[in-house]
Each structure stands twice: as C-alpha cells, then as structure tokens.
Amino acid sequence: MATRDMASWETAICKVISEGDTEEIIVRGHRMSDLIGKTSFADMMFLMLQGRLPSPPESRTLDALLVASIEHGIAPPSMIARCYASYGTSIQAAIGAGVTAFGDRMGGLGEQMARMMVERLAPHRAKGVPPDAILKQEADAIVADAAKRKDRVPGYGIPLHATDPRAPRVLDVARREGTYGVYCRFGMEIEAAIARARGGRPVPMNLDGVGAVIALDLGFDWRATRLFLITPRTVSFATHYLEEQAQDTTWRHLPASQITYIGKEDLG
C-alpha cells in the first residue's frame, strides 16, 4: 500500500503561471505563446509525450500515422458514436463511448505487439542496434510461441480483408523520411517469419501493427500506442455523430427479425 500523500500532485508536463499581469502556460519547458502558430498538432503531440519537439521528418512520419488511423467507415466504435447521436446524447459522451470501446481485442492489439517487441529486443538493444540475424531469430521465436499458444501474432492480418493499403503506405513514408528504424525492421522480420511458418502464404502487417512499429521507432513508450489510434479516431466519431444527427434517425435499434429468442417460453 503506497504511503504517498494522495492530496499532493507532481507533474512535469505543464505549468500554468498566473502572477499579476503575467499569464503563461509552459508545456514541457516551452511557452504556449511561442508554440502557437509555429508548431503543428503532430509536433505538439510529440512534445507532450516525449518532452522534446520532433524533427521535421519525425513530425511528418507521425502525421502519416495519424492520417492513416483517422477513419475506417461505420466500424464498431463509430457505430456506437452514431447510436449515441440517434438517442439524443451529447457529442462528448458519444466520443467518450467510442474511445472506451477500444478494448484488448479491438484497438488494443497494437499495444500488445509494441510491448512484446520492446521486451524481446531489450536485452539485445543494451548492446547496440540489433542486426537482422538477431531480429530474424526473435521473430521466429515470436511466431513459434504464438503457434504453441494456438494464438495469432498481434498486429498482423485483417479481419474480413485481404490486405490493408494503409500499413505499406505509412512504412513508405518512414523510409522516405529516414525514420524507418529497428522496430520497423523487426515488424517486417515478423511478417516474413509468419509467412515462412505458413508455407509462404503471407499475413500482412495491419494498422495496429504499423502503429506499433512507427510509434516505437519515433521513440514513444509502448504504453502510449493506443493513443495513435484514439486521438485521430475522435475526429471520426464526431464526424459520424454529426452525420447521424443530421439524418435525424431518433432511435437506432435492432429490428426484431435480427433477434432470436432461445430462452424459456412462458412458464405461466
């Protein structure tokens, strides 16, 4: 049981200064009034989480990831945001419910992949950037482990779809910008190892997977992985919420024909 005083808070993120005529917000050591107009949203996201402003290539790579993650049609969480609109709920509650719908299965697989990669490479990274042979060996071990657990490797394969156009495009940007590092390489080794284990049939890296490797190569903590899906998707939730609201549907529900009652009949 922690003995910390729970009424005292410490933070290194932000300082709000309000003294006499001076009003300023310091974010990670930078004055907000200097940042506004000079930095992009991606720059600020990087600064908030890493404590330093990114280089232009890093910022452009992050933008590519955020753009790729922003929208995927009336997928489960945007369906929920639209239902909330239909029931007369507020836009913030709709976005909150869409965000919270990302669970360990949906939207959370990138985090599992990122964590697994970090833990696998930690001992090797202590000795420098791991060469391809090491990555290949660890990739094969990951695939073998998943097979033993009769599980899939998180970050590969698209439910319902054959391939995903987003993952290769984001990796292209990383290559172009010079931000394609050890985790991107490791991700491709795992893709190759999966294909080897399946007699050559590939299971391509998906958006969860590319989010993990790009974020890690940009220096983010694996614990932040879900944010690169959540933040852009709030724009999707709001857009779907507003479209549904404009359609004035009043009460989205399942028609009786889609529901089969398989319980006890009237015992009366």
Q: Give DSSP secondary structure letters for 57-119.
A: HHHHHHHHHHHHTS--SS-HHHHHHHHHHHTT--HHHHHHHHHHT-BTTTB-HHHHHHHHHHH
Q: Can you tell me whether residue 19 is helix, strand or coil? A: strand
- Best CA proximity match to 22, nearest among 37, 32, 13, 10: 32
Q: Can you tell me whether residue 249 is helix, strand or coil? A: coil
Confirm or reject binding of residue 245 to a second copy (CB under 8 A): yes
Q: Can you tell me whether residue 161 is helix, strand or coil? A: strand
Which of 114, 134, 170, 194 touches a second copy (CB under 8 A)? 170
Residues in the chain, overall count: 268
Contact 110, 154 (CB under 8 A): yes
Kindly state the smallest distance separating residue 77's Cβ from a second copy, in Å: 8
| Closer of 127 and 149 to a second copy (Cβ) | 149
Confirm or reject binding of residue 34 to a second copy (CB under 8 A): yes
Kindly state the smallest distance separating residue 12's Cβ from a second copy, in Å: 3
- Best CA proximity match to 75, nearest among 247, 227, 236, 211: 236
Which of 54, 68, 117, 180 touches a second copy (CB under 8 A)? 68
Tokens of 236: 């999707």
Total residues interacting with a second copy, rule: CB under 8 A: 133
Confirm or reject binding of residue 247 to a second copy (CB under 8 A): yes
Confirm or reject binding of residue 199 to a second copy (CB under 8 A): no
| Closer of 148 and 251 to a second copy (Cβ) | 251
| Closer of 183 and 228 to a second copy (Cβ) | 228
Q: What is the contact mask toward a second copy in residues 71 to 110, using x (rule: CB under 8 A)?
A: xxxxxx--xx-xxx-xxxxxxxx-xxx-xxxxxxxxxx--
Enumerate residues 120-139 that contact a second copy by CB under 8 A: none
| Closer of 1 and 133 to a second copy (Cβ) | 1
